[in-house]
Chains A and B, each alone.
Chain A
Amino acid sequence: MFNVLIAVSLFYVFILFVVAFGAEKLTNSGRARWLRSPLVYTLSLSIYCTAWTFYGAVGYAARSGLEYLTIYIGPSLIMLGWWWILRKMIRVGRSQGVTSIADLLSSRFGKSNSVAVLVTIMAVVGTTPYIALQLQSVTLSLSVFASYDSQTSVFLDNSRAAFWLAIGLALFTILFGTRSLNANERHHGVVMAIALEAVVKLLALIAVGIFVVWGISGGISNVINEIDSSTIGHWDVDNSRWVALTFLSAAAFICLPRMFQVLVVENEDEDHLRTASWAFPIYLLLISLFVVPIAVVGLNIMPENSNPDFFVLSIPLAMGRDNLAIFSFLGGFSSATSMVIVASLAVATMVSNHIVMPLFLRWSSGKASGFGDVRFVVLTSRRISIGVILLLGYLYFELSGGGAALAAIGLVSFTGVAQILPSLLGGLFWRGATRSGAIAGLISGFSVWIYVSFLPSLGDGIVFSSSFIKEGPFGLDWLRPQALFGIEGLDPLVHAIFWSISLNSFFFFFVSILSFPRPIERLQGAQIVNVFQYEPSPQAWTAQKAQAEDLMVMCQRIMGVQQAKNLFNEEVIRQGSSSDLPEPIPDFLNRLEKELAGTVGTATAHAMISQIVGGSSISVQDLMAVADETVQIREYSQRLEQQSEQISRTARQLRIANEQLTKLSVQKDVFLSQVSHELRTPMTSILAFSEILKDEKKLSDQALKKYSDIIHAESHRLTRLLDDLLDLSVLENGQVSLNIQSVNLKSMIDKAISTVQAGNKDDKLIVKTEFSTRKRKIETDVDRLGQVFLNLVTNASKYCDAKKPTLKILIGFDKENYTVDFIDNGSGISKTDQQQIFEKFSRFGSQKSGSAGLGLAICREILKRLKGYIYYLPDKQGAAFRVVVPSRIYSE
């Protein structure tokens, strides 16, 4: 059976790899929307429930009754209170591009790396024993199995099993946690795998619970009787522990590096938090529901000396339910592995961003060219960090001997991590918190924790001898680690929480009040505390153009060549500049810093940019904004005013557009009635005369000829009208394809003149052409432009009412355009008519020509297509038109 267990576990691990790999693949191909649902987010939070809670909760309940519930109640309250803390953390994380909890604190306290380093060290110290605890729980659960295996006498080497487990976990974390440098630090494969593990551990615990309640005890009422008559049958929880542990678990829930990773860094959408705010408390409720029944039944049916920590495994094994036991083992295995994976990933990110990278930056020569391939450095340092953290966990497991001392480390480790809480909450909600305050608080809380909780927890004689604990150092009894300042009788854990958190908060608060923050701290403080009110406008960088190239080189090394290029190109487009590198304006530098912060952390990104750009400048306005909130509020209200102004402007524009549309629709109706009228007139005469021809038998030849001439002429007119209409509609719809040729402008005009004169023998029009430029060549659509000239010459010949009609054509050239003026010596067009001559069906003067009045409208449309225009020149002696047409037309 032991071999079956190993085979099943290996298969399970294989499935985890496949799931993680598949999720990565799906995300990369952009088809993974559902992978990032609120449900997956909620499930990923369950890494809070480690093997320590999976196995240990039952043991905890067997020893101390309902006290174990505090470990779940704290996080539930935090989730129910999402509105207060988590929502703000996620928003700040998003707006500042935060990669870890150390990064958040560093960002809040003026992008200070010393704060980040402190938090990182605390995280490593707090996480290592916890990882050891997970390794221990897996090896112990294996040995529970081995002890029940009667067929083969398995000799299980605990430390070898733990070693290989650590190797496997390191492999998985490196493979899926450091695949690439993600700008937003999200790891879809890892999240999907831990979501799956969350389901497995929940189902496993519920399955064992159901088996215990209905399979062994025979129903709920029996179980309740059994519970009430057991040794833990009455409420016996120390009040101080109830409060302190609830507080502690709530604090750890928001401060643990791994929780920050899944809560904030891996969060895809702020709205997911809303769902998780009720779904995660329900998850915790379900996972803690069967703990007491399992503990009580275990106490009743298992032999005296059996370890209650492993009732979840040993009860099914003792009852011969091997499959259930294997399932339960997988649950515990899931809890252990998912915690180790995320914790090592989160801590490794912190170590590489806040310790390795700054050292690397200091060692490599200061300027951008000295950075080397930073991408590779970041990834490698992160991989090595993961390996080192797991190695530390394994060593801790080895050295502590895997005994009971290790089991106590869970809450001790929580207390250590909770030291971040005062600085975190203070930083999020209090503008007055300063970097010195945070450092003072963190150091004092952390040292108190080491002294009163961590070192004593290692056990007798390892660091502190029992006499040291009893009598204090050098016989100073007020320094006794478990009775500081002579206050005795407190539970050691409550004692540790009380003193470490109180001193931490005390120093944080008073040092903050007494110290004076640097400008950048005040700015970051204002932005983070008021993250919901204001748009971020961080302090301004100042840079010269020459530095854009250095920035580009640096970005390529961190983000990869393609991504950096895309970012810079986007910026070039946004700035609308013509060179291929963007101007290093402050706005761009801020955006750049944020992008880089997503990869290497806030403090490092800030340091890198300041290495190139040479320090940030804070403008007077920025300082004003920090010093005086009213400035910001005024800006905000101004922005609102601007917005409302903009809206009313848009409304006005829409109204105007609407009026124009109405006018157009009226014009269209008028046009249609005009068209039908124009068509009707020739039609009527054609009909009338053709009827006469049909009905009148005796017509003289002369009359016959006259009538058929009329019919012919009217049909001609009709055809011309239809041609013109067709032409116009084609032009107006923009469906014309231009046929561009290069010709001599003079020959075009001459051709138009001779065409008109040839068509009308008794024309008396005299045409004079004058060039005021030597340029003749034009590249355009010759036929179309010729049509315009022809039309204008024809108009002059038709409508010029002078005795000796003369048309002057003046050709000039201005920059890129020809101007061609057509001026005759007639009486011209009256002022009121001038505005309408280019409209369709507009006719003036005598109607003898029988034209439809579309000529000028067509001219205007043609010129629009040729990128030119035509207008009437007032104040000349006769009718005068000016055609402006480009000498070269660029086809689109």
Chain B
Amino acid sequence: MSKFDDSLFLERKSYRKRRLMDLISMLPFFGTFLFFIPLIWVANAELGPRISVAMIYLFSVWIFLSFCQILLINYLKKSDRYEVQKLNELKGD
């Protein structure tokens, strides 16, 4: 692989990491939005949505957000590890 290709590859990785950080920092706002969806439901002891539906919705949002976080944190770890490895390679040159 030529030197040029190598540096292009690195740029791409660090670009991806930036976007990953964007995603991680946006997740709580996204979560707030989803958790505040019930604000547009009709709140009424007889006419409101059935409570089992509400529960299923809220818990699904919860699980969804947690799993997103697991995935994002894993990617973050991977890209951190990649950076450390790259740094070590540079040192070893």
Contacts and interface: CB of A to CB of B under 8 A. Distances in A.
A236 B48 contact: yes
A65 B45 CA distance: 10
A153 to B, nearest CB: 41
B82 interface: no
Given A81-B28, A651-B93, A235 B62 contact: no
B46 interface: yes
A748 interface: no
Nearest to B25: A83
B68 to A, nearest CB: 8
Interface string B53-68: 0110011001101110
B25 A234 contact: no
B66 A282 contact: yes
B10 interface: no
Nearest to B73: A274
B69 interface: yes
A274 B28 contact: no
B4 interface: no
A227, A236, A239, A243: most-surrounded residue (chain B CB, <10 A): A236
Nearest to A65: B51
A758 to B, nearest CB: 61
B50 A243 contact: no
B7 interface: no
Interface in B17-57: 21, 24-25, 27-29, 31-32, 35-36, 38-39, 41-52, 54-55
A285 B59 CA distance: 7
Contacts of A228: 50-52
B28, B41, B49, B50: most-surrounded residue (chain A CB, <10 A): B28
B49 to A, nearest CB: 5
Nearest to B36: A243
A479 interface: no
A485 B93 CA distance: 71
Interface string A247-274: 0000000000000000000000000001
A246 B31 CA distance: 12
Contacts of A281: 62, 65-66, 69
A287 to B, nearest CB: 12
A214 interface: no
B27 A81 contact: yes
Contacts of B24: 83
Interface residues of B, number: 39
Contact of B48 (A234, A278, A282): A234
Contact of A234 (B35, B49, B93): B49
A1 interface: no
Contact of A227 (B44, B52, B73): B52
B66 A77 contact: no
A78 B29 CA distance: 10
Nearest to A72: B62
A423 interface: no
A817 interface: no
A811 B22 CA distance: 78
B44 A277 contact: no
A69 interface: yes
A277 B65 CA distance: 11
Contact of B54 (A231, A235, A239): A235
Contact of A242 (B38, B45, B59, B76): B38
A236 B42 CA distance: 8
B70 interface: yes
B48 A73 contact: no
A492 B31 CA distance: 27
11 contacts: A81-B29, A233-B50, A234-B46, A234-B47, A234-B50, A235-B42, A237-B43, A274-B77, A278-B67, A278-B69, A292-B55
Nearest first, the 8 A-B pairs at minimum CB distance are A81-B28, A235-B48, A278-B69, A234-B48, A224-B52, A80-B28, A235-B49, A236-B45
